[in-house]
Amino acid sequence: DTEVTQTPKHLVMGMTNKKSLKCEQHMGHRAMYWYKQKAKKPPELMFVYSYEKLSINESVPSRFSPECPNSSLLNLHLHALQPEDSALYLCASSQDPASGGASEQFFGPGTRLTVL
């Protein structure tokens, strides 16, 4: 299985809602990532988990809260978002954090988030 799956595909939420995005991979990868992508722009790194521990937080607002329950799952909890947070949220994984960045990343199809 060489897939990264993400649910839901689409999400519409109000600014007072709490929702979660889910990401799953069964490739045995030990690094997992969350990215935010605006239309026609490159992905922007948000968080990196290495061996289930948060290793990078790119100064992301606290209304985004990541969680890595186990080596296959990655969640992104959303609360009190703003309309400017509307974007495509991509999850990715790569094989081995110890490889020093030489491993390519496998991306999921993304969750299209709209904040009203």
Partner 1 sequence: AQSVAQPEDQVNVAEGNPLTVKCTYSVSGNPYLFWYVQYPNRGLQFLLKYITGDNLVKGSYGFEAEFNKSQTSFHLKKPSALVSDSALYFCAVVSRSSASKIIFGSGTRLSIRP
Summarize as ranges the residues that interact with partner 1 (CB under 8 A): 4, 6, 31, 40-43, 45, 48, 50, 55-56, 90, 92, 97, 99-102, 104-110, 112
Name the 3-class secondary structure at 22: strand
Looking at the Cβ atoms of 2 and 16, the one nearer to partner 1 is 2
Looking at the Cβ atoms of 18 and 38, the one nearer to partner 1 is 38
For residue 8, give both structure tokens. Answer: 């839901």
Bond into 8 cis (ω within 30)? yes
Q: In angstroms, rounded to a whole number, what is the distance separating the alpha carbons of residues 102 and 89? A: 23
Looking at the Cβ atoms of 43 and 66, the one nearer to partner 1 is 43
